[in-house]
Amino acid sequence: MPIYEDEVVPSFIILTLCLCLLSRIVSVFPLAWLANRCRSKENQISMNEQCVIWFSGLRGAIALCLAVEFPTGP
């Protein structure tokens, strides 16, 4: 069955979101761990702050994609 350009494929959307979540996890948490190794105890990035960093990046990327796809005038 061919997929048309304007057809929404839910499995592709779910896969894309899962890969975005995974890629953010793979980049944010190890880099925060590395940064914490070089910081003093009182200046380390807490786990709650790491989760905020992880989620905030996704929120910005989604907003950018929606802005790019926003229809313009005729």
CA distance 29 to 22: 11
The larger pLDDT score, comparing residue 36 to residue 56, is at 36
- The predicted model gives 26-43 an average pLDDT of 94
Q: What percent of the chain has pLDDT over 70?
A: 91
The pLDDT-based confidence of 58 (bands split at 50, 70, 90) is low
Q: pLDDT tier at 37 (50, 70, 90 boundaries)?
A: very high
Separation between Cα atoms, residue 61 and residue 53, nearest integer Å: 13
Span between the terminal Cα atoms of the chain, in Å: 33
